[in-house]
A and B are shown apart, each in its own frame.
Chain A
Amino acid sequence: MQLRTLQKILWSAAAFATLAFGLWQFSQDRGPSVGEQAPFRPTFALPDAEGQLRTQADFEGKYLLVFFGFTNCPDVCPTTLAEVAQVMDDLGDQAANVQPLFISVDPVRDRALGLAEFTGAFHPSILGLAGDDTQTRAAADSFYIHYERQDDTTAPDGYSMSHSPALYLVGPDGEWLRQFSYGTPAAEILADLRSRL
Chain B
Amino acid sequence: MKTQIISTLILMAASPAIACESTTFGDLSIANPWSRATIGAGRPAVFYVAITNDGASDDALVAISTPAAGRPMLHETTVTDGVASMPHAMSIPLPAGQTVQLAPGGYHGMLMGLTAALKEGETFPVTLTFEVAGDVTVNAEVLSLRVEGPDCETDGQ
Residues of A within 8 A of B (CB): 30-31, 71-76, 78-79, 82-83, 85-86, 90, 92, 113-114, 117-118, 121-122, 146-148, 150, 152, 154-156, 160, 162-166, 182-183
Partner of B84, one of A121, A154, A156, A163: A163
Contacts of A114 in B (CB 8 A): 39-40, 42
CB atoms of B43 and A75 under 8 A apart:
no
Partner of A74, one of B46, B79, B85, B113: B46
In the complex, residue of chain B having the shortest beta-carbon distance to the beta carbon of A72: B43
Range of interface residues on B (Cβ < 8 Å): 20 to 34
CB atoms of A75 and B77 under 8 A apart:
yes
Contacts of A71 in B (CB 8 A): 43
Contacts of A118 in B (CB 8 A): 39, 43
CB atoms of A166 and B82 under 8 A apart:
yes
Contacts of B77 in A (CB 8 A): 75-76
Contact with A along B66-102 (1 / 0, CB 8 A): 0000000101010100111111100000000000000
CB atoms of A156 and B112 under 8 A apart:
yes
In the complex, residue of chain A having the shortest beta-carbon distance to the beta carbon of B76: A75
Task: Provide the bound-state CA to CA distance between A183 and B82, in Å.
Answer: 12
Contacts of B44 in A (CB 8 A): 72, 74, 156
Contacts of A113 in B (CB 8 A): 40, 42-43
In the complex, residue of chain A having the shortest beta-carbon distance to the beta carbon of B43: A72
Contacts of A155 in B (CB 8 A): 86, 88, 110, 112
In the complex, residue of chain A having the shortest beta-carbon distance to the beta carbon of B88: A154
Task: Provide the bound-state CA to CA distance between A107 and B103, in Å.
Answer: 27
